[in-house]
Chain A
Amino acid sequence: MIKTLWYYQKKTLHHQYEALPAGRKVLYITLTALALFIMIPFGLGIAAAGDVFSTESLRAVIVYLLLSTLAVITFVTMPRTFQLLFGSKDIEFLFTLPIRSRHLFAMQFFTGWAGFPLLSFLLLTGLSIIIGAVSGAHLLFYPAAALLFFGLSVFGAGLAFLLNLFLVYILPAQRAQQLTTVISFISAALFILAAQMPNIIMQNDNTSLTIEAAPAWLPTQPVAAALFASFRGEGAGVIYAAACLGALAVISLASLWFVEKHYFSSWQRATEPVGNKIKSTRPGAARSVPYAIALKEWRTVQRNPKEWTTCFTFALILILMFINFFGSDSALASPWSNPASAWSSVHVMLGPAILLGLQQFAAAAFGREGDSRWMLRALPVTPRQIVFGKFLAHWVMTGTALAALELIAFLLFGWNIVLVFAGLALTLSLTAVAAASGVWAGASGGTYNEKNPQKRVRFDTGVVSFFLNVLYLLLFFVPTWMILSAGLSLQSKWSGPEPAFLPLWDTAPWPWISLLGTGGVLSAAGLTLLIVYLHLRHGTKELTERGVDYLDP
């Protein structure tokens, strides 16, 4: 049976590849070639870096890196795994056939592994070959590394599948169905943490590159031991590698036993109709069309946590910046003793977070229409009303959320009320720009694919939009500098000068403070109005030209 299922699944994957547009195939081939090209200098760099560490430290680094790789494989694979186990349309049909649950699971596992885990396996093996060749590894190292990384990819994917099954099994159905949202955030956060790994490991001592030995209980210890021993050509390498793979086989068998018992029941839980507490029985008066569209947008976002995932970039940029700031000697390390400096630092961080993160949230506005997209076009609503309504919704949502954060920070850090108002002017301007540029991206490049509903904007539009927002970030540097300088100078008049994070003017005379403050707010407002106007106008034009098929790729 398993052979039949695999054959069918391979055929499906093959047909999916065949159905790809030629351009997409070329893109994938180019990206693969690029990855291979980058792998060579990357591998050489790692090999050179390895010489700097002592053997013990290098072993600790490898244990940690393998652990973070395992975590990344697991969490990155989890959303897709959830979809494969519980969301794919053919599973319902397959459960009606006389097929064992574990066979279905194995088929889905194969499909799940043949994505990110397979890619990780190939990349890690490729890097090992380069590193081994440069560092003069024993011949035993190459098959051992390939087998171990294969095992790691299978183990990571397996963990992703089992975690999904387990969480669906223990969580209430409604929460289980929102699992992918949380997991997406965790996987993105893990990516960032993995990128920060070297900094985190070496934070205590930047000069000697000496790292404490990793705890012996870590599951990646035997893998590192196998790699080290096989690198030197020691027979222990074979024993360690065999032990790792043997353990993997035992775990796999145990997993299949668990799966046979719980896959079907978990699938039922994950797909059962969920009762909803939301009720509204008091209809009100008709609103203006943009307001009605904005209200509809707000309710859709508010009631669907999956929609929040588009804000993750914003949250992650902000979290990353805060981690780095708190870890450094900046004003944020002591925000209570330097309130104005902390205020200016926070607003410097908000700029990129809002412009590069929140515009993605607004860009999803059109793709979000999904299967209901026919509705707006069958109604007597103009593209201008649609664009304006969606802009309004996203600006109010993001602007209000950030204003609330601003007020919390005001209460928490004891900021002056004048600084809070200046900060609000800046964040509301930036959120307006992010909302407008996002809505423009959605209107001109919004897309909807039932098979990939999270993809809301075409790749090319996303790239253009990103660079536009980088440009806006540069343009906003001037008003931001003026507002922050005025705020910092104002604070120094009240309670003495504070250290500035940027080359800000912190000791300006009164007339300059007024000029900087007023000029900053006015220029921010002017720039905002101009950018918002241009984006909304162009977005309306694009939506008009795209006509009724506005979500077609």
Chain B
Amino acid sequence: MHDSTAVEVNQLTKQFKGATAVHPLNFEVHAHEIFGFLGPNGAGKTTTMRMLAGLLEPSSGDGYIHGKSIKNHPLEAKQQLAYLPDKPDIYPKLTGWEFLQFIASVFKLDKNIWIEHAKRLLHRFDLTESAGRLMETYSHGMKQKIALTGALIHQPSVIFLDEPTVGLDPKSSRDLRAILRETAADGTAVFFSTHMLDVADQLCDRVGIIHRGRLLQTGTPEALKQEHASHAGGSLEDVFLRMTEQHETEGPEGEVP
């Protein structure tokens, strides 16, 4: 049985000055699901995620967060989502705690609940000691982790993460994966982009492969590996490389439905 649809992408398209960065995309991500968005540099992953998070106006089409259009009802949609960019530049002159309180204020969270939740996440990310310091003194990894804490304290039903493991040390990276699994188990749809195919292979319930703004295929890592077993090796990396190379050679016509 399928869980409810958390993210619905309907003919979502983005053009920049005549060039199409994202061709019409159609797919769904469900509650309890970890969806990995895979693609080489410049494939359109970040553009798609920014459109779905309400940071970029789609040229046409729409994205829905639990049925709420990000285009027409952005506030209702944003109430249910969290977004973590690849370079999480957040208010340098606020301390970690002040930043979290700001997020709690925006989402009108109960004091006891959010503080308890934040303490748990900060402890998990080894940020308890540094949460009282200005964020401008944080390393890239620490910024990533405090931004993720901010994204998780309001317990969103959909979370978009753009390359979340970049810049994290091995322990933080493992903790992040564990947290994402727990978050998904609690009912949140986790939508993340990555270059790290082994991470995607281990973590994702389903993946989508995007190349030159076109979605080549979606499916579980196992299904994709089986489907391409005769042409590629046994790993998701082999499948990914084969599909993107094939698309490169054949051009847009080679798109797999």
Give residues in A with beta carbon < 8 Å to B.
273-276, 278-289, 291-292, 295-296, 299-300, 303-304, 370-372, 374-375, 377-382, 547-548
Contacts and interface: CB of A to CB of B under 8 A. Distances in A.
B93 A292 contact: no
A117 B110 CA distance: 58
21 contacts: A274-B137, A276-B136, A278-B95, A279-B95, A283-B104, A283-B111, A283-B115, A284-B111, A286-B105, A286-B107, A289-B105, A292-B101, A292-B105, A292-B106, A303-B134, A372-B92, A374-B55, A377-B54, A380-B78, A380-B106, A381-B75
A273 B137 contact: yes
Contact of A283 (B53, B55, B74, B118): B118
Contacts of A370: 89
Contacts of B101: 283-284, 286-287, 292
B79 A380 contact: yes
Interface string B70-114: 000011101100010101011111110110111111111111001
B133 interface: yes
A295 B57 CA distance: 29
A374 B105 contact: no
A210 B95 CA distance: 60
B75 A375 contact: no
Interface centre among B79, B92, B93, B95 (most CB of A within 10 A): B93
Given A276-B134, A292-B105, A378 B55 contact: yes
A288 B105 contact: yes
A280 B105 contact: no
Contacts, number: 102
A379 B57 contact: no
A262 to B, nearest CB: 27
A286 B109 contact: yes
B108 A283 contact: no
Contact of B132 (A279, A287, A292, A381): A279
B90 A372 contact: yes
B56 interface: yes
Contact of B56 (A276, A289, A548): A548
B131 interface: yes
B105 A291 contact: yes
Contacts of B118: 283
Contacts of A283: 97, 100-101, 104, 111, 115, 118
Nearest to A378: B83
Contact of B54 (A291, A296, A299, A548): A548
B238 to A, nearest CB: 35
A295 B97 CA distance: 13
Contacts of A374: 55, 83, 85, 89
B100 A287 contact: no
Given A292-B102, A380-B79, 12 more contacts: A282-B97, A286-B109, A286-B111, A286-B114, A287-B105, A292-B101, A303-B93, A372-B91, A377-B55, A378-B54, A381-B75, A547-B57
Which of B54, B85, B102, B108 has most A Cβ within 10 Å? B102
Interface centre among A282, A292, A375, A382 (most CB of B within 10 A): A375
A543 B134 CA distance: 29
Given A276-B133, A279-B132, A286-B111, A296 B94 contact: yes
Contact of A280 (B53, B74, B98, B136): B98
B94 to A, nearest CB: 6
Nearest first, the 9 closest Cβ-Cβ pairs linking A and B are A292-B105, A371-B89, A281-B132, A380-B78, A285-B111, A303-B93, A286-B105, A300-B93, A287-B105
Interface in B35-78: 53-57, 74-76, 78
A454 to B, nearest CB: 16
Contact of B94 (A286, A299, A379): A299
B132 A299 contact: no
Given A280-B97, A284-B111, A286-B101, A379 B132 contact: no
Given A283-B115, A378-B55, A547-B57, A299 B98 contact: yes
Nearest to A290: B105
Interface centre among B78, B118, B134 (most CB of A within 10 A): B134
Interface in B131-176: 131-134, 136-137
A437 B8 CA distance: 41
Contacts of B102: 292, 295-296
A304 B79 contact: no
A162 to B, nearest CB: 29
A282 B97 CA distance: 8
Nearest to A287: B105
B126 to A, nearest CB: 16
A296 B93 CA distance: 9
B107 A380 contact: yes
A543 B92 CA distance: 23
Contacts of B115: 283
A286 B97 CA distance: 12
Contacts of A372: 89-92
A379 B79 CA distance: 7
Taking each of B56, B91, B115, B118, which has the highest tally of chain A beta carbons within 10 Å of its own beta carbon? B91
B113 to A, nearest CB: 10
Contacts of A279: 95, 132-133
B128 to A, nearest CB: 9
Contact of A296 (B55, B74, B89, B91): B91
A371 B118 CA distance: 24
Contacts of B98: 280, 296, 299
B137 A304 contact: no
A371 B88 CA distance: 9
Contacts of B92: 372
Nearest to B119: A283
Contact of A289 (B95, B106, B109, B110): B106
A423 to B, nearest CB: 33
Nearest to B129: A281
A299 B90 CA distance: 14
B69 to A, nearest CB: 14
Given A280-B95, A548-B54, A381 B106 contact: yes
Contacts of B110: 286
